[in-house]
Amino acid sequence: MKKFFNSLILLILVFFGLLYISKFDYILEGVSKIYFKGYTTAYLEDYKNFDNRKIPISKNPLTWKFHSNYNLFEIPKDFESYNKKNGTVAFLVIKNDSILFEKYYDGYGIKSMSNSFSMAKSIVSALLGKSIMQGHIKGLNQKVKDFFPEIKGEFADKLEVGHLSNMSSGMLWKEDYFNPFEVTASAYFVDDLSKLIIDQPIKYMPGKEFKYKSGATQLLGMVISKATGKNLSEYLYESFWDPMGFENKALWQIDSEKYGMEKAYCCIASNARDFARFGKLYKDFGKWNNKILLDSTFVTKSLNPVFDKDSEYGYGWWIDNYKNQKILLMRGHLGQYVILLPEKNLIFVRLGQQKEGKKVKSSFTEDIYSYIDFGIEIAKN
C-alpha cells in the first residue's frame, strides 16, 4: 500500500510537472484559483483570486428612484423556491425607471459584488459605440488590421471591427467553459491574454454567420484600448460609470499586473442595481438624463438581429421574442442577466450561482423565461 501511495504521488508530481513545462501550464492557475476552491468552472466571487483594475464610484453618484409600492407586496412561494433552487443571489425589478422590487439571497446585499461574466460583452460593445462616436474608430467597417496588423489567418485582411461585436469574426475558437484544455479556459488564466488572442487565426470568412466566441470580444477590447490610448477600465469610467452616476466601485479582472489587459469578454464585478443602468441606457437609446452618451443609431443597430438565419444577436446584445413582445438581454455564464422589456418599460436583473441548462431555443435556456414571467407578475403591483 505504501509503495502504491508513493507511486501515486510521483505520478501526480510528474503530471503537474508536465503541465508546468507545456502549453497547458495555465491549468495550474485554474487548479489553485477554481478547482481547489471546490468549483469546476468560474464562479461569482472568483474575482477575489485574480488581479483586478478598480473602477471608482462616480464623482456625482445617482440613486435609483423607488416605486411607491417598493417591496410592499407578498412574493409567490414558487418564486422563492425557484430562486433558492437555482442559487439566485439577486433579483431586481425596475418599472418605469423606479425600483419596484429587489431581493437578495445567501448573504448577498445591495452593494455585494459578483462577476458579470459575459454581460461584460454588452458593455464592451457600448465602449465600441462610444469610441466611434468620439472618432477614435472610423466605424463598424474599419479593418482590425489598422490596429493589429499582426493578426493571422487566411481571412485576417477581411476582419472588420463590427464583426467582433456581432459575433461573425471567423476566428478559430471553441467556446467551452468547462474543458480546461480548451482556449476559453486558457484565456481565463494566462498572464498575457493579448498574445493568446493574436495567435488565434481568422480561419473563416468574417461577416457571414453568427458564431459566439469570447475571443472576438477580447480582440474588440484590445482594439478599443489601442484606438483610445486608454485601458478599458479608465475608458469605461469616463464614458459611462461617471456620467451615469454609478453608486459603487467595480473591479475588472486583468490578465496579470505585468500585462494589464482587461478580460474584455467577461469579468466586471459589480452589483444588480449598477448592472441595471446599462439596461436603462439602451432602453432609452443611448440617453441618460437627457444627455446623449451613445448614438441612437448605434443602439438601434445593437438591439436588432444582424443575420436572418441566426436572429438572436445584434451588437453585444441577445434578442428574442416572448409572448409577442421583444426581449433584450445582457447575458453571462451561470445565469447572469439584465433583461429589457422595452414595450413595458421594464428592466429585470438576475444574478446567481447556476442556471437551468435545458434549452428552449437554440441559445436560450428555460430559466430566462421563468425570470421574465416572475418579473412581469411582480410588475403588476
The conformational region for residue 213 under phi > 0 = left, psi -120 to 50 = alpha, else beta, is beta
Q: What would be the CATH architecture of the domain defined by 46-379?
A: 3-Layer(aba) Sandwich (3.40)
State the cell numbers at 45. 466571487
241, 58 Cβ separation under 8 angstroms = yes
The residue extents of the domains of the chain are: 2-33, 46-379
Residue 315, pLDDT score: 99
Sign of CA dihedral 114, 119, 125, 129: negative
H or E element: which one contains 339? strand 336-341
Q: For the chain of 381 residues, list the mean pLDDT of each consecutive stretch of 10.
A: 41 39 62 75 95 99 98 90 96 99 98 98 99 99 99 98 99 90 92 98 98 98 99 99 99 98 99 99 97 99 94 97 96 98 98 88 90 96 91
Residue 3 has what pLDDT?
A: 46
Partners of 346 in the β-ladder: 95, 341
Q: Tell me, what's the pLDDT at 30?
A: 61
How far is residue 135's CA from residue 80's CA, in Å, rounded to a whole number? 48
Q: What is the pLDDT of residue 33?
A: 78
Q: What is the pLDDT of residue 337?
A: 99
DSSP 76-129: PHHHHHHHHHTTEEEEEEEETTEEEEEEE-TT--TT--EE-TTHHHHHHHHHHH
- Whole-number pLDDT of residue 24: 65
The reported pLDDT for the residue numbered 360 is: 80
The predicted pLDDT at position 34 comes to 81
